[in-house]
């Protein structure tokens, strides 16, 4: 397949009015990636290195989403909505450049799989001129039926035009199509709008190709591949299907997911074998987790790296730039942002570490925070190897704590601490014997006075 060139026409000019959104329909995200980018990703995986993108509203943003996946993109505006055949021919110039294969897909079908597109291309390589991708829904009502004869696809019959016998056919048109490159323009050019709606239908290519003695076949793909998104309800349904696919793939690759239905992945989440995921975990984009790590329940990770045998949570929060080395521990109610945590370092609970480095085997006590922001600028906190930071300490950046140093609990550290030093940064404690009795009497009198008023 690598020796055959391929152009993919992505139809993404729909208005998407039923989404009731100012954002173009194909830019709504699934697993953190725009719908149309999912389509481009599948196309790219099937060897579609060149894309002709047919756009309408929000053209620049749609183009940017596709270019984030595939570099070679030409953009073609569809100024009128005159049917799918008309939409494909908006990319006439790109099609005329000459390719071995041509795929036609929709920008709002985020669940289309690379394997399905590869299957269609394989049929072209075997000699087919037109390949229609069909599916078998639980209920075929409302779908166009694929009419086959002796292994050939002879027609796509819309339900309103189908006979009673044809309505019993369960093999339906999914809308996705592949065409032999040198046959594409001659066939597409013969589509007419002589129908009740006055539109140019891509499906007419089947009968046109048969009349010209071309080879037309249908292949069966799973129904998920052709699910289009028109409403936010359908968007949520597609998200659920995508997540279930990802969960299954993760578990088959050796990841333990204790309650799969409660774990949510991003489109680019990378997790190695022998990682354990407890319930109720959310992954934002840009997360990688190495083998042996454990992510405890109710944790949220985004833009973060978790090293081998490290642990996060429960209720851990890793924000972009968090980088945990091997055997590091980020415990319950700990937030880490833009910080490198060294091998074996422990940040066990109720702590914020931002814009910092934490050395190997350091221990950061509960309630500690790095004061990294002065209202205008961020500054770095450096915590050396084997440092012990006592509970409820504030480290005011920029500040550096040398290897093996101790920070006394409750300290506010504003100056650098040398290696092996002990630093106190808190008010001196004083005890006033009997003063509590006087305070209680005073406060009680004040309370009574307020009531009297």
Strands (E), 280-326: 281-283, 288-289, 294-295, 300-301, 305-306, 311-312, 317-318, 323-324
How many structural domains are present in the chain? Answer: 2
The answer to whether the annotation marks 20 as part of a ligand binding site is no
Q: Is residue 292 part of a domain?
A: yes
Q: Is residue 430 part of a domain?
A: no
pLDDT in the model for residue 200: 87
pLDDT in the model for residue 1: 60
The answer to whether the annotation marks 5 as part of a ligand binding site is no
The answer to whether the annotation marks 13 as part of a ligand binding site is yes
Instruction: Dump pLDDT digits (tens) for 101-113.
Output: 999 999 999 999 9
Instruction: Give the end of a domain, one of 194, 226, 258.
Output: 226
- 215 and 269 fall within a common domain: no
Dihedral (C-alpha) 320, 323, 328, 333: value to the nearest 10 degrees?
-10
Catalytic residue selected from 86, 296, 300, 349: 349
Q: Is residue 238 part of a domain?
A: no
Of residues 79 and 235, the one with the higher pLDDT is 235
349 is catalytic: yes
pLDDT in the model for residue 438: 92
The answer to whether the annotation marks 317 as part of a ligand binding site is no
Instruction: Dump pLDDT digits (tens) for 230-242.
Output: 999 999 999 999 9
Asked if pLDDT for residue 16 goes beyond 90, the answer is no
Q: What angle do CA 52, 270, 176 make, to 5 degrees?
A: 30
- 266 and 168 fall within a common domain: no
Residues 414 and 395: beta-carbon distance below 8 Å: no
Instruction: Dump pLDDT digits (tens) for 271-305.
Output: 999 999 999 999 999 999 999 999 999 999 999 99
What are the structure tokens assigned to 113, written together? 């799989």
CA-closest candidate to residue 132, choices 209, 228, 193: 209
Cα distances from 390 to residues 150, 155, 229, 315, 423, in angstroms, run 80, 76, 53, 22, 10
Rounded average pLDDT over 195-223: 90
The answer to whether the annotation marks 144 as part of a ligand binding site is yes
The answer to whether the annotation marks 18 as part of a ligand binding site is no
pTM listed for this prediction = 0.90
- 258 and 160 fall within a common domain: no
Instruction: Dump pLDDT digits (tens) for 360-413.
Output: 999 999 999 999 998 899 999 999 999 999 999 999 999 999 999 999 999 999
Query: For the domain that residue 356 is a member of, what is the CATH number?
Result: 2.160.10.10
Residues 249 and 271: beta-carbon distance below 8 Å: no
Mean per-residue pLDDT of the chain: 94
Query: For the domain that residue 28 is a member of, what is the CATH number?
Result: 3.90.550.10
- 129 and 220 fall within a common domain: yes
Structural domain of 363: 246-423
Asked if pLDDT for residue 173 goes beyond 80, the answer is yes
Asked if pLDDT for residue 2 goes beyond 70, the answer is no
- 263 and 164 fall within a common domain: no
The answer to whether the annotation marks 239 as part of a ligand binding site is no
What is the rounded CA–CA span in Å between residue 224 and residue 229? 12
pLDDT tier at 49, thresholds 50, 70, 90: confident
pLDDT in the model for residue 452: 82
Instruction: Give the end of a domain, one of 191, 226, 261.
Output: 226
pLDDT in the model for residue 453: 75
Strand partners, 51: 8, 73
């Amino acid at each position: 397949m690598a020796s055959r060139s391929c152009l993919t026409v992505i139809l993404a000019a729909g208005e998407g009015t039923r989404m009731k959104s100012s954002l173009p329909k194909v830019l709504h995200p699934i697993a953190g990636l725009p719908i149309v980018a999912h389509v481009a990703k599948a196309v790219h995986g099937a060897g579609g290195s060149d894309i002709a993108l047919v756009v309408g509203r929000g053209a620049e943003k749609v183009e940017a989403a596709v270019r984030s996946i595939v570099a070679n993109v030409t953009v073609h505006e569809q100024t009128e909505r005159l049917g799918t055949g008309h939409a494909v021919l908006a990319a006439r110039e790109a099609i005329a450049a000459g390719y071995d294969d041509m795929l036609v897909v929709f920008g709002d079908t985020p669940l289309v799989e690379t394997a399905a597109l590869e299957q269609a291309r394989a049929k072209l390589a075997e000699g087919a001129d037109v390949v229609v991708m069909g599916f078998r829904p639980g209920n075929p009502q409302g779908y166009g039926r694929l009419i086959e004869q002796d292994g050939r696809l002879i027609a796509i019959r819309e339900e309103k035009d189908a006979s009673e016998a044809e309505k019993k056919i369960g093999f339906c048109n999914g809308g996705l199509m592949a065409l032999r490159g040198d046959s594409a323009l001659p066939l597409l050019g013969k589509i007419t709008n002589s129908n009740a709606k006055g539109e140019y239908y891509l499906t007419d290519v089947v009968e046109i190709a048969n009349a010209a003695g071309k080879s037309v076949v249908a292949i069966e793909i799973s129904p998920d591949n052709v699910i289009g998104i028109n409403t936010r309800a359908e968007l949520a349904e597609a998200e659920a299907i995508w997540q279930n696919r990802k969960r299954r793939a993760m578990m088959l690759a050796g990841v333990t997911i204790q309650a799969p239905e409660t774990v949510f992945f991003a489109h680019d989440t990378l997790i190695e074998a022998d990682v354990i995921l407890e319930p109720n975990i959310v992954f934002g984009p840009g997360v990688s987790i190495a083998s042996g790590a454990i992510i405890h329940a109710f944790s949220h990770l985004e833009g973060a790296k978790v090293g081998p045998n490290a642990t996060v949570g429960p209720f851990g929060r890793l924000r972009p730039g968090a980088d945990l080395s091997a055997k590091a521990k980020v415990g319950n109610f700990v937030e880490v942002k833009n910080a490198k945590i060294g091998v074996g370092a422990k940040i066990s609970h109720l702590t914020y570490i931002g814009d910092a480095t934490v050395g190997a085997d350091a221990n950061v006590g509960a309630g500690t925070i790095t004061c990294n922001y002065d209202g205008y600028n961020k500054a770095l906190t450096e915590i050396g190897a084997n440092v012990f930071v006592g509970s409820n300490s504030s480290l005011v950046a920029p500040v550096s704590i040398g290897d093996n140093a101790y920070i006394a609990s409750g300290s506010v550290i504003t100056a650098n601490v040398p290696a092996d030093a002990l630093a106190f940064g808190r008010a001196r404690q004083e005890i006033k014997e009997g003063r509590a009795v006087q305070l209680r009497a005073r406060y009680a009198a004040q309370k009574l006075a307020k009531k009297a008023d």
